[in-house]
Structure 1
Amino acid sequence: HFPLAIHTLHSWTRKVPSLVEICLMHPLDVVKTRFQIQRGKTDPTGYKSLGDCFRTIFQREGLFGFYKGIFPPILAETPKRAVKFFTFEQYKKLLGYASLPPGLVFAVAGLGSGLTEAVVVNPFEVVKVTLQANRNAFTEQPSSFVQARQIIKTDGLGFQGLNKGLTATLGRHGVFNMVYFGFYFNVKNILPVNKDPNLEFLRKFGIGLVSGTIASIINIPFDVAKSRIQGPQPVPGEIKYRTCFKTMATVYKEEGKIISFLPGGAVMLLVYEYVYAWLQDTVDHK
C-alpha cells in the first residue's frame, strides 16, 4: 500500500499550501477584479486608487468583503492543481518524442497544461467573478451554489452562462503557464545549484517570483478581458464585452490601461519542486 500512501500524501501536500495561498491572495484578487471591471476614470462607481479600493470595500462591505467568491476557488483548487501538474508532466513526456529543444518542451508543455486547466476552472471563475463584483455586504450576497444555479437558470451552461469567457480564460491560463513553466525550468537548469540549502531555497524562490511576475505581466490583457466578459456589463440587458480579442480592443481604445496583480506563483512552484523531489527520493529509496 506504500505507493497509494505516497500518492495520497503527494495530493495532500499540494493542496494544503494552495489553500493557504488562496486565503492569503484572495483579498488582492477581489481588488484586482474590482479594478478590472471598472470602466476608466469616467466610471461613477470606480475607485480612485488601490488604497481607496481597499478602504471602500472595508467600510461598505466589512472585512469579509475581501473574501467574496472565495468558495469557488477552494472547490476548484484540487482538480485545478491536479490537472495543471499532471498534464504538464504528460505533455512533457509526449513532447519528448518530438525533435524539439528541451527549453521549448517546457514552454509547450506549459501551454498545453494551461489550456487544459482553463477548461476545468472556467465555470468556477464565472461564479467567483460574479460574486466578487457584487458590492452588497458579505451577508447579503447569495452563496456560491445559489449564484451558480441562478447563472445556469438565466443563461444556461454555454458560452453565455456558466462557460462565459472561456476563450479569455484559455488565453490567460495558456499564456501564463507557457511563460511560467518555460521560464522557470529553463532558468533553473541554467543557474548553478547551490549546496547551501538556504541559498538554494532563495535561488528557486527568486526564479519562481520572476517567472510569476513575467507571466502575469504578459497575460494581463487576457485577465482583464476575462473579468470584463464574466463580470457585470455596463448597461443591464446589453452585452458590450462579448469576445476575448474584441474586448481587449475595446478596453484599449476606450481606456488605454490594464491592471493586474503578480504574486502567488513563486510559492506554488517552490512547494511543488520541493515536495516532488522529496517524494521521488522517498520512492527511490524504497
Structure 2
Amino acid sequence: MPENIAKQAAQQLAAGGLAGMVEVSLMHPLDLVKTRFQVQRGPDDPNRYKSLADCFRRIYATEGIISFYKGILPPIMAETPKRAVKFFTFEQYKKMFLFGSPTPTWVTFTLAGLGAGLTEAIVINPFEVVKVKLQTERQAFTTQKSAFATARDIVREKGLGLQGLNKGLTATLGRHGVFNCVYFSFYHNVKGWIPSVEDPTLEFLRKFTIGLIAGTLSSIVNIPFDVAKSRIQGPQPVPGQIKYRTCFKTIAIVYREEGFFALYKGLVPKIMRLGPGGAIMLLVFEYAYDWLQKYT
C-alpha cells in the first residue's frame, strides 16, 4: 500500500475511533433506558416503566446511579474499532461507488453509508449481545457479573453462532445498514446544498444542526430493527423457550401482539441519544481528521 494511502487510512481510523469513544461516553445512560423500554412487553409486564422519568427514577432508586452505565464496557471496547470501521469503510465505499463521476453523488453517499453500516454491524454484534444482556438485568450494578464473565458464559452455553455471541446478527445488520444509509446520505448531501460560512462558530452550528437532523431521522427510520435486535438478544418471555429468532419474524410478532407503535418503543431516548450523538460523532470525526491531516 502506498505510504500516503496508508497514512490516510490510519488518520481515518484514529479519528473514527475517537468519535465513537466520545459519543458513547456521553450518551450511554440514554442507550440503557432505550434498551429497557424495548425489551418490556405488554401492560401485564410487572416491571413495566410508565414513562421516561419513571424509568430514570426507578433505575436510580433500585439499582443506583452507577447502574446507568451498565453494559458500558462492551461499547467502550467496541466503539474505537466500530466507529473506526464505520468512518474508514465509508470513505472507501465512497471511492467504490463513484461510478465514474468526478465527485460523489447522492447515490454514492447512500450506497457508501449502507456498506459502512453492514460492515460495522458484523464487527459490533458480539459486543451488542453482551451489552443488551447486561443492560436488561435489574440487580444492582455492584452485584452484576463483569462483561468478560458474561461473554464467557454466553460462549460456554451457546457458542459463537447465531444462538450465542452472534445472536441477532440479521437485526443488527438491518439496524446499522438502514441507519448509516440515511445518516451519511442526509448529512453529506444536505451539507453540500447549504453553503459553508467563514465564521467558525456558525460553521460549527451549521454542521451540528445537519448532523442532529441526520441522527434523528436515521433513528426514526431504523428503530423497528433496533426493537427486534433488543428482543432477540434480550430475555425471552418464557425462560427456556425462544420466541424471538429472526429479524423480520420478530418484527411481525411484535406488530401482531402489541401493535404498530410497539415497533417504536424506546424512540424518545434513542432520539435523545443519537440525535445529538450523531452530530457529535460526525463533528469529532471531521475536526479530528482535519487536525490529523494538518499535523501528522
TM range (shorter): over 0.9
- Using the TM superposition, give the Cα deviation of residue 14 of structure 1 relative to its aligned residue in structure 2, in angstroms: 4.2
Equivalent in the alignment of 1:47: 49
Of 22, 25, 37, which residue of structure 1 is paired with 2:24? 22
Q: What residue ranges of structure 1 are gaps of 5+ in the alignment?
A: none
- Structure with greater contact order relative to length (CA < 8 Å, sep ≥ 6): 2
202, 206, 209: which one aligns with 1:199: 202
Q: Who is 1:148 aligned against? A: 151
Number of aligned positions between the proteins: 282
User: For residue 108 of structure 2, what is the aligned residue in structure 1?
Assistant: 105
Kindly report which structure 2 residues correspond to 1:125-136, keeping only aligned pairs within 5 A, or say none. 125-136=128-139
Deviation at 1:24, TM superposition (A): 1.8
Match of 2:73 among 41, 56, 71: 71
Q: Which amino acid aligns with 1:193?
A: S
Aligned partners of 2:15 and 2:84 also within 8 Å: no
Residue 120 of structure 1 pairs with residue 123 of structure 2: yes
2: CA distance, partners of 1:276 / 1:17: 10
Distance 1:277 1:19 in 2: 18
Equivalent of 1:266 in 271, 279, 282: 279
Deviations 1:100-139 (CA, angstroms, capped at 9, x unpaired): 9711100100000000000000000000000000001111
Map Cα deviations across residues 138-161 of structure 1 (whole Å, 9 max, x no partner).
111110011001001111100000
Q: Match of 1:96, SS?
A: coil
Inter-partner Cα distance in structure 2 for 1:193 and 1:101? 18
Q: Is the 8 A contact 1:6 1:279 kept in 2?
A: no
Paired residues of 1:133 and 1:232 also in contact (CA < 8 A): yes
Q: 1:75-109 deviations in whole A, cap 9, x for unaligned?
A: 10111012111111111111123569711100100
1:226 paired to 2:229: yes
Residue number in structure 1 paired with 2:289: 276
> 1:174-207 deviations in whole A, cap 9, x for unaligned?
0000000000000000111111111111100000
Q: Which runs of 5+ in 2 are unaligned?
A: none
CA RMSD of aligned residues (A): 2.1
CA distance in 1, matches of 2:217, 2:77: 27
> Paired residue for 2:253?
250
Of all paired residues, the percent bearing the same amino acid is 65
* CA distance in 1 between partners of 2:80 and 2:223 (Å): 24
The one-letter code sitting in structure 2 at the alignment partner of 1:24 is: L
Q: TM-score, normalized by length of structure 1?
A: 0.93
Q: Aligned equivalents of 1:186 and 1:278: distance in 2?
A: 23
The one-letter code of the counterpart of 2:35 is T
